[in-house]
Amino acid sequence: MTTATLPARAADFPRARAVLARGDRWFLRVLRGAALTLVAVVLGIFLEMSVSAWPAVRAFGVRFLTTSTWDPVAETFGAVPFLYGTLLSSLLALAVAVPLGIAAAIFLAELAPTWLRGPINFLTEMVAAVPSVVFGLWGIFVLAPLLRTWIQPALGSTLGFLPLFQGPPYGVGMLAAGIILAIMIVPYITAVSREVLLAVPNTQREAALAIGATRWETTRMAVLRYARPGLVGAVLLALGRALGETMAVTMVIGNRPEVAVSLFAPGYTMASVIANEFAEATSDLYLAALVEMGLLLFVVTVIVNGLARLLVWRVGGPVKQVRE
Amino acid sequence: MNPRRRRLVNRLMSTLSAVAAVATILPLLLIFAFLLYQGASAINIDFFTRLPKPVGEVGGGMANAIVGSIILVGLAAVLGVPLGVLTGVYLAESRDSRLPWTARFLADVLNGVPSIVIGLFVYALLVLPMRRFSALAGAAALAMIMLPIVARTSEEMVRLVPASLREAALALGLPQWKVVLRVVLPTARAGIVTGVMVALARVAGETAPLLFTAFGNRFWHQGMDQPIAALPLQIFAYAIAPYDDWHRQAWAGALVLIVLVFLVSLTARLATRRRVGAMR
């Protein structure tokens, strides 16, 4: 922001110009202050949590990441079951949501008739607006019973030879968490992928159509290839959401700190254990262990999101913002 | 390749992508249908006017949670919106070399930070020094979630303001700050309001960051330095409790929450559509 565009004769009135410039300088300071506050919040989260987590880091070191006993009474804390639960539930969600979300984005950006794009786009945005706790409520009372009485027995009897589908059907558990997460992150993948696809220059499409490609061939060869970094970014953004999603997962995953291969078994995630135990944690070391879990979550999501943004910006530019 | 096969593949992929789009929005319809089915029967006057009954007694309502949510979201807006809009103006107008890029990047990063982590941060920042859970802490957590959303939409909207308007105002001898406050921001107002409403809709449904900041309360609002009830917290507490009457009220609460969130999102959307159309 400069004062280069002041009226041409302003130079003849040095006093007036000084007054104007002073106002602008102050204004710029206020704006900078606002932007710096945002920077300070992010740095503050990192520094504050590092300090609070330090007792646990010092007490357990790398064992925190490699052992799986979580015993508040004995003050032994190993995060493996939570790391495992967070990763598995998120990957499960991605496995369902990525093909679905990108296909829906292709439909919305490339193939759908124009009159249909607005309404469907609006509805996918509404899915993203549903609060997490409402998904959780639906998960407890609709999805979990559905899984317990129909889907899990069916999977068990057909694919039960795989260790993934063995064990008693509780309803709540890893599978329920993965499905709920998938439903929740699909709209993010669709929204970001759609923006990325729309940012692909039309010359790409025209070139492919001109040499006789069908719509789908155009999409596959000229559009998707061009948009690939952005699509990877969209998937990473969704992964970031899934890793940190708390309420809905807490309500359906079963909250048992175990490492089980079966998707039917209950699990636990990093965000859920913080949500469930932080307010009741009594000893300082217990609190520090939970904060360390939060710090890990923060660092991982910052890396995943940072990477995602850079990739999405590469296709669309930083200013073409994706509304969430 | 055989042209018939190519046409077939084209048809097939178009159909598949349409199916995927439908599958994406199907859960919304299912959830909404269930909320209506389960929640509508539990909604009555008591729900909006009464406090929760003690454990074991049937009846009562969530009036305190509804009021609490309004207070929390309102206070969060007071804290987060001015800061967010100023940050947005800075991102759009500044010619500084590094800070705009850094702030924009961190805004997007902050937007992706799990809300439970923000709850942990505010716990250390406000709850520990004050030695109690409080409405203020809950609102601060929500404000931090609003901040990046408001900042980024404001930036986008300020950028949409035509340069000719700025130049005209500057040519009249207005200082830069007046141009921004009197010309640029009023022109971008509708878009900025939309961004704010999107942010409000998002934080109104947040539960995780309130768990150990606002904490919840079974009584009316008792001051900014006291724990306060919130609709999402109450839904969560009732959903995982073992009482049928509480489950019924959780559905009712969820229905109220989702209707509020949808109304706000819908208004926001209609407002931008009209405005952006008019500006072009």
Quick: pLDDT tens for A98-120. Answer: 999 999 999 999 988 899 998 99
pLDDT value of position B41: 85
Are A49 and A117 within one domain? no
- Write out pLDDT tens, residues B28-43: 999 999 999 998 888 8
**DSSP-H helix ranges across B94-184:** 99-112, 115-122, 128-130, 135-160, 163-171, 176-178
Q: Which two tokens stand for residue B149?
A: 């959303």
The residue type found at A248 is A
Per the CB < 8 A criterion, the answer to whether B272 and B190 are in contact is yes
Any domain includes A71? no
Angle at which helices A270-277 and A80-106 pack, to 10 degrees?
120
Q: Do A123 and B28 touch (CB under 8 A)?
A: yes
Are A50 and A196 within one domain? no
What is the domain count for chain A?
Answer: 2
What is the Cα B274 distance to its own chain's centre? 21
Shortest distance between the Cα of B275 and any Cα of chain A, in A, equals 16
Residue B250 near chain A (CB below 8 Å): yes
- Give the domain CATH number at A107: 1.10.3720.10
* Dist CA B260 CA B263 (whole Å): 5
Any domain includes A84? yes
Taking the model in full, what pTM does it have? Answer: 0.91
The residue type found at B108 is D
Third-level CATH fold of B45-279: MetI-like fold (1.10.3720)
Are A19 and A151 within one domain? no
Q: Which of A30, A101, A130 is nearest residue B24 as measured by Cβ atoms? A: A101
Q: Which of A137, A190, A240 is nearest residue B24 as measured by Cβ atoms? A: A190
pLDDT at residue A15 greater than cutoff 80: no
pLDDT value of position A231: 94
* Dist CA A263 CA A147 (whole Å): 12
Are A31 and A134 within one domain? no
pLDDT value of position A5: 54
Name the pLDDT band for A324 (thresholds 50, 70, 90).
very low
Name the pLDDT band for A257 (thresholds 50, 70, 90).
very high
* Dist CA A74 CA A229 (whole Å): 47
Q: Which two tokens stand for residue A41?
A: 């919040």
Q: Which of B34, B151, B205 is nearest residue A142 as measured by Cβ atoms? A: B34
Which backbone phi and psi does A71 adopt, to 5 degrees? -130, 95
CA dihedral B48→B54→B56→B60, nearest 10 degrees, is -10
| 3-class DSSP assignment, residue A257 | coil
Q: Where are the domains of chain B?
A: 45-279
Are A237 and A109 within one domain? yes
In the numeric block, the tokens 């469907």 are attached to A120
Are A180 and A285 within one domain? yes
Nearest chain A residue (CA) to B6: A214
Q: How many CB pairs under 8 A join A and B?
A: 300
* Dist CA A302 CA A317 (whole Å): 20
Give chain A's end-to-end CA distance (angstroms, integer).
29
Are A209 and A141 within one domain? yes
pLDDT value of position B69: 95
Shortest distance between the Cα of B49 and any Cα of chain A, in A, equals 22
Are A200 and A235 within one domain? yes
Span B147-165, mean pLDDT?
94
Tell me the residue range of the domain where A145 lies.
79-316
Mean pLDDT, all residues of chain A:
90
Q: Name chain A contacts of B160, Cβ cutoff 8 Å.
A: none
Q: Which two tokens stand for residue B12?
A: 């097939």
Stretch among B19-33, B81-95, B152-166, B266-280 having the lowest mean pLDDT: B266-280
